[in-house]
Structure 1
Amino acid sequence: MAARRVPEPRVLRGPVWIWALCGTLLMQAVASFVTQSLPVIAPLITASAGMSPESIGNFSALVAGGTLLFLLLGGPFLLRWGPVRTLQLGAALSALGLLAAAAGTPAALVVASLLLGIGYGPSPPAGSQILAATAPPRHRSLIFSVKQAGAPLGGACAGLVTAPIAAAFGWSLALLVAVGTACIAIVAIQPLQQALDSERDRGRPLNLRGLLRPSVLFAPIGALRLHPVLPLLTVLGVSFAALQGCLFAFTVTWLTQIHGLSLVQAGAAFASMQAAGVVARVLLGWLADRTGTPIRNLLVQAVVASACALAFGAMPRGFPLPGIHLLAAVCGFLAASWNGIYLAEVARLVPARDVSNATVGSTLFIFFGYLAAPAGFALIVSASGSWSLPLALFAGQLAVVAGVVFLALRRIEGRAVG
């Protein structure tokens, strides 16, 4: 079924999909910048709060938990307010979360992590809803991947901006810079609100009874039955998310604690990882459109990403700084560039009216990966004293899952041919 096209609004000059892409890219980058600022300066925050360095994994899990909460209950808000207004409100909640984190206590960090997660929650479904309605179908994977490139772009900015500010002036000021960035983005996207929120359901009820109706809660999960490949795509995404979540949550802390890098040096390596992801999301999204086999591309990417993450985790102490940057960049290129292709495939596999529900349903499971993996990583570090072991385990599971998904996909294709 062809995607519903948003009418060209008079207030915007040029093709509407360009404005839609610019707006969603901006909000994706800012959401990532705000969220990733916490793990980037984690060594300073956890030390100030009297907590162990690996405890940042628990806070990263809470961020994912907050996103899950929005994905479970946020559908009616998205329908009532429209995707642009929902993105603005998400950015506002993230800013409140960072203000809470500035208190520096364990309780404040719990509240901050949940607010950051809820604030990030609108990014996947709202962005997909906007782009599915506006993107030219022949360039869908590329356009979704460009939007998703905002995630590592924001992460790179977190490594390059918040780490030096925190090291020079204190982590509280670094958090305030991130808060200001979120506020600027809220204002910047406002000109798009009237055009892209034109079909919102103003009469959609937002009372508690309506939010907790089974039809609301289970509609996204039910949408995964719309196509037999959707569950396989979701399983592969969860596996990717587990590895990516661990890399993003622990790279800075691991490099400072084990490899002896300063916070600024580790933040720069983290930025290399994120910047490579920006390039990869655009390049690999373009390649997926050209080959016409996005899922198979992801399967190959998963195996290679697994091998690269194993090499990154096996770096000996005293490894040269340029080598650390190179391995971090390769991991970012392969392990953190799957998201746009995955979201474009979800949107392609279902009718246009079901894109939001299918995206939410699939992304719910993705964020279970983001939630469980950092918490499991922290638990393994505490139990074993090793940082390389959990990284090897989470890297290895991606290769195993890719093999299982490949075999299952072959069976589905065989039944279709037969």
Structure 2
Amino acid sequence: MHSKADTRWVWIAPLLVTLGLQMAAAYILRVVPTLAPALAQELGWGEGTAGFLASIGMVGSIVFLLIGSPLTRRFGPVRASQIGLLISAAGAVMLSWPTAAVAVLASFFIGFGYGPSTPAGTDILHRYTPAARRNLVFSIKQAGVPIGGVLAGMVLPVALVQGGWPAVLGAVLLPTLIVVLATQALRGQVDAGRDIAQAVGLRTFLALDNIRTPLLALARSPELLKLSFAGVWLSIGHGCWVAFLVSFAVIRMGYSLEMGGVIFAIMQLTGIFGRIVLGALADRANSVAVLRANTVASAVTTLALVFAAPDWPLAALVVVVGIAGVTVSSWNGVQVAEISRRAPAGLVAEATAGATLLIFAGYVFGPICFSLVLSFSGRFDVAFALVALATLLALWNLRGLDR
């Protein structure tokens, strides 16, 4: 029999599991943007390579969110996340064949494997986390995204330069296997409620009712739709920063690939702090007010890159990038927690999948549009100015949600 104190802290182990799975998924997802300049050179593509391949990855995530719910129900959220990690790692292995068709397919698999991370993690934490701590706990879990980004930025470019693709593959596969094995310890407890009668064949995945489930869960509440579309505009800004920051540092600012990785890691590092701070603020204040303030700050930070030039001192760029880790990339934990709070009873995972699906659409179209602007104009400043304007549109969707 558990004591009251034991019950109070029962959420910590599930949080550590979801944090580890989220961190590993994000680490693999960042393979493409952190190595984008090298991939572009190998493939013979232009400056928009990062945005195009990142968008293909998000298409893969969207496909999982549309069809993957039966997998989570049948095997449980921990096992679904573990399967996703192995699929993503297989996609990363495929990148070692430097052909355009394989790079596109590899990016799709990396994104498809990333798909379970948010809805599965949300389902776990919603069941175990006290309501009073929900924003903070969800934000800590989402901090796994920038933690994975820090590791990717610091490890992968150096691995490629020092040891080529074999070193990159080792740097991806080893931590993936470690996380899969480490999270297995809690799988039996967390996945105990899985539906072993749930069919998981191709017919089930492609059934119209299955594909519609995430969006129908959102459609039950206009508030959920407004929150989700606010996330679309915020994800456009975040997606463009993540996809193009290393390319911007190398091509526009003139730094090496290794230094570009360090700059990318700085943004991810401050994002860890930012997500936890915003989550704590949202637990003590109004979540929607926090999201509004963050929207304005995100747009202002993006505008700073419009004026960045090669004669800027490194310290100035580091300051802007560090601020961006808080303002551009730290909103998601608060938003996911608020969607979880407002979701229909029994449909938390489905509503989160629907919201994440829409957010990932922003991660697809943002970098694609950025790539197009960059291809036609050759100017990062014009592209970032448009990103800042798009970010501000989130304020329209956040109207009337204070309660």
Instruction: Name the counterpart of 1:32.
Output: 26
| SS at 1:316 equivalent | coil
- What is the rounded CA distance, in whole Å, between the counterparts of 2:111 and 2:384 in structure 1? 23
Q: Which range is displaced more, 17-26 or 36-45? A: 36-45
Which segments of 5 or more consecutive residues in structure 2 lack a partner in the other structure?
Answer: none
The yes-or-no answer on 1:86 pairing with 2:103 is no
Instruction: Name the counterpart of 2:294.
Output: 301
Instruction: Name the counterpart of 2:118.
Output: 124
Alignment match of 1:96 (pick from 68, 78, 90): 90
- What is the rounded CA distance, in whole Å, between the counterparts of 2:219 and 2:200 in structure 1? 27
Task: Give the drift of 1:209.
Answer: 2.6
Alignment of 1:141-180 (within 5 A): 141-180=135-174
Alignment of 1:327-366 (within 5 A): 327-366=320-359
The yes-or-no answer on 1:384 pairing with 2:377 is yes
The yes-or-no answer on 1:368 pairing with 2:361 is yes
- What is the rounded CA distance, in whole Å, between the counterparts of 1:67 and 1:194 in structure 2? 26
Task: Give the drift of 1:409.
Answer: 4.1
| SS at 2:254 equivalent | coil
Instruction: Name the counterpart of 1:3.
Output: none
Alignment match of 2:42 (pick from 28, 48, 54): 48
Instruction: Name the counterpart of 2:318.
Output: 325
| SS at 1:336 equivalent | coil
Amino acid in the other structure paired with 2:369? G
Instruction: Name the counterpart of 2:235.
Output: 241
- Check conservation: 1:37, 1:155, Cα contact below 8 A: no
| SS at 1:53 equivalent | coil
Amino acid in the other structure paired with 1:77? L
Task: Give the drift of 1:161.
Answer: 1.1
Alignment of 1:240-319 (within 5 A): 240-291=234-285, 293-319=286-312
Instruction: Name the counterpart of 1:416.
Output: none
Deviations 1:251-305 (A, max 9, x none): 00111011100111111111111111100000110000011x1012101110111
Deviations 1:168-191 (A, max 9, x none): 222442233112211111111110
Paired residues in the alignment total: 400
- Check conservation: 1:41, 1:163, Cα contact below 8 A: yes
Deviations 1:1-57 (A, max 9, x none): xxxxxx98xxx9994311100000011111111110221011112211222232121
- What is the rounded CA distance, in whole Å, between the counterparts of 2:7 and 2:245 in structure 1? 42
Task: Give the drift of 1:76.
Answer: 0.5
- What is the rounded CA distance, in whole Å, between the counterparts of 1:135 and 1:88 in structure 2? 22
Q: Which range is displaced more, 337-346 or 37-46? A: 37-46
Task: Give the drift of 1:217.
Answer: 1.4
- What is the rounded CA distance, in whole Å, between the counterparts of 2:177 and 2:251 in structure 1? 33
- Check conservation: 1:44, 1:171, Cα contact below 8 A: no
The 1:407/1:146 distance shift into structure 2, 3 A limit, reads closer
- What is the rounded CA distance, in whole Å, between the counterparts of 2:67 and 2:184 in structure 1? 24
- Check conservation: 1:34, 1:179, Cα contact below 8 A: no
- What is the rounded CA distance, in whole Å, between the counterparts of 2:159 and 2:210 in structure 1? 43
| SS at 1:340 equivalent | helix
- Check conservation: 2:230, 2:398, Cα contact below 8 A: no
Between the two proteins, what is the percent identity of the paired residues? Answer: 34
Alignment TM-score, normalising by the size of structure 2: 0.96
CA RMSD of aligned residues (A): 1.7
- Check conservation: 2:288, 2:398, Cα contact below 8 A: no
| SS at 2:305 equivalent | helix
Instruction: Name the counterpart of 1:405.
Output: 397
- Check conservation: 1:33, 1:157, Cα contact below 8 A: yes
| SS at 1:353 equivalent | coil
- What is the rounded CA distance, in whole Å, between the counterparts of 2:398 and 2:200 in structure 1? 42
Task: Give the drift of 1:351.
Answer: 3.5
- What is the rounded CA distance, in whole Å, between the counterparts of 2:312 and 2:21 in structure 1? 36
- Check conservation: 2:75, 2:195, Cα contact below 8 A: yes
Task: Give the drift of 1:401.
Answer: 3.0
Amino acid in the other structure paired with 2:363? Y
Task: Give the drift of 1:363.
Answer: 0.9
| SS at 1:389 equivalent | helix
Amino acid in the other structure paired with 2:234? F
- Check conservation: 1:132, 1:352, Cα contact below 8 A: no
Deviations 1:301-342 (A, max 9, x none): 101110111112321222111111110111111110011101
The yes-or-no answer on 1:186 pairing with 2:180 is yes
- What is the rounded CA distance, in whole Å, between the counterparts of 1:289 and 1:261 in structure 2? 40
- Check conservation: 2:252, 2:309, Cα contact below 8 A: no
- What is the rounded CA distance, in whole Å, between the counterparts of 1:280 and 1:208 in structure 2? 40
- Check conservation: 1:73, 1:212, Cα contact below 8 A: yes
- What is the rounded CA distance, in whole Å, between the counterparts of 1:82 and 1:400 in structure 2? 36
| SS at 2:393 equivalent | helix
Amino acid in the other structure paired with 1:18? I
Deviations 1:137-188 (A, max 9, x none): 1100000000000001100111111122222222442233112211111111
